[in-house]
Structure 1
Amino acid sequence: MDSYEKFETRKRDPDPNSVALLVIDVQNHFYSMARPVLPALNATVDICRRASVPLFFTRHCHKSPADYGMLYEWWDGDLILDGSSDSELISDLERRADDPIILKNTYSAFRGTNLEEKLLEMGVKEVIVTGVMTNLCCETTAREAFVKGFRVFFSTDATATSSAELHEATLKNMAYGFAYLVDCSRLEKAFSKS
C-alpha cells in the first residue's frame, strides 16, 4: 500500500491565533479504536491548551427515531443512544468540565449543530480534526469544514478507525484534496514559534 506521504504535497502550520481543535466522538462506544491513539490525542489537547487554542469535543448520540436518518439502516440499528454509557466520552480523555461539547447525530460535526456559528463568533478560520472514526466522522467533518471555507488540518496520529487500510485511505484523500496533515510533533513545533 502506498503511503499518504506521496500525496502530501502541501505543508502549512496552523495559526494558534485563528485555529480551533475539534475532538470528534472519543466515546466509550469507540474505546477499542481510540485507546491506541489516546496518548497522541491527549498530547494534542495539551499542546493546544498551552497555545490557548479553543477546544470543542463532540459526542455522537441519538435521542429518538426522528434523528436516526440513514445511519439506522446502514448500521443495522446499532446506534449510540443518548444516556447510555456508550455515548459518554472516554474517561481517560483530557477534557475539562468547561470544554464545550457539541452533540451530533450524523457523521458531520457541522450538520444540525451550532458548531459553525460558534467558530465564526470566535474568529476561528482553521480547524484541527482529531478523534474517531478517521474515515467516517473525522473525514466528513473535515470535508464539510473545507467546503465551508475553513482551513483544515487533519491529525495523522490522533485519529483512529477500525483498520489501518481505512485510516491510510482517508489520510490520502485528506492530503490530496482537503487538509494539511499534522501530528503532535508538527503541532508542538508550529506553536512554539508563536
Structure 2
Amino acid sequence: MGDSYAKYETRQRNPEPHDAVLLVIDMQLYFQGMATPIIPAIRRTIECCRAQNIPVVYTRHCHKDPSDYGMLQEWFNEIIHDGTPEAEIMSEVDKKANDKVIDKRTYSAFHNTDLEKYLRDQGKSEVIVTGVTTNVCCETTARDAFLRGFRVFFSTDATASSNKDLHDSALKNLAFGFAYLFDCQRLEDAFAAKVSA
C-alpha cells in the first residue's frame, strides 16, 4: 500500500463474498489511455471475484442527447455519445454476456440507474469498486454507496486517474471516511483464507 494514504487507512476489513458485488466502472474505449495500465489488475480482481461467485457489474458513462448532459458538457467540453465506439466497454476486461451493464449519465453509478434496486434485490450489502477514474466516477460511486448504507471496498491498484496526485488524494479521502482499501494481493489473500478456514 502506498505511503501517501496508508496513515489514513486506520480501518481494515475484508469483503464477504456472499454479500458483495464487484463494480467495474467505465472501462470504456474513451478512457483507454488511462485504463490500459490497470487492465491486468482489473482482470485479476474480476477473476478473483468470479471464483467466489461474486456478481460483476459494469458501468458505461454515455449520453443519448443534450437533455442528459447536465453540467458535464460545461465542465469537460466532451461528451461520450451512446452508440459510438468510445462508449463501448474494452474487450480486454473480459465482460461476459450475462454480466449486468449499467448506463449512467453522471459520475455516480447510482444516480438515476437501477443499481441500488439490483443490489437490494440480490440481497447484497457490499460493493467492491474498480475502474476509472479514481477521483471522479469511482470515488463518487463509492461515496454514494456509503451514503446508501452499503459497505464499500475500494481498489488501490485496479483503479486509475489522470495522475498520481489525483489518484492518491482520492484514496486518502476514501480511507478516511468512506471505504476499506485493498489491492489485488490483499483480496486474493482474504478469499484464500476463507477457503482454508
TM-score w.r.t. the length of structure 1 is 0.98
Distance in 2 between residues matched to 1:184 and 1:143, nearest whole Å: 21
Partner SS state of residue 181, structure 1: strand
Identity of aligned residues (%): 56
Aligned to 1:73: 74
The alignment covers a number of residue pairs equal to: 193
Aligned to 2:92: 92
1:26 and 2:27 matched: yes
Query: What is the CA distance between 1:193 and its match in structure 2?
Result: 2.6
Partner SS state of residue 165, structure 1: helix
Residue identity matched to 2:81: L
Residue identity matched to 1:119: L
Query: Stretches of 4+ moved more than 6 A in 1?
Result: none
Partner SS state of residue 21, structure 2: strand
Aligned to 1:166: 166
Distance in 2 between residues matched to 1:67 and 1:60, nearest whole Å: 11
Partner SS state of residue 30, structure 1: helix
Distance in 2 between residues matched to 1:10 and 1:94, nearest whole Å: 32
Partner SS state of residue 130, structure 2: strand
Superposed CA RMSD in Å reads: 1.0
Distance in 2 between residues matched to 1:79 and 1:136, nearest whole Å: 15
Q: How does 1:1-194 map to 2 (within 5 A)?
A: 3-76=4-77, 78-194=78-194
Partner SS state of residue 91, structure 2: coil
Residue identity matched to 2:36: R
Partner SS state of residue 165, structure 2: helix
Partner SS state of residue 7, structure 1: coil
Query: What is the CA distance between 1:97 and its match in structure 2?
Result: 1.1
* Cα offsets for 1:90-148 (capped at 9, x unmatched): 11112111101000000000000000000000010000000000000000000000000
Distance in 2 between residues matched to 1:121 and 1:191, nearest whole Å: 24
Residue identity matched to 1:171: L
Distance in 2 between residues matched to 1:178 and 1:17, nearest whole Å: 21
Residue identity matched to 1:9: T
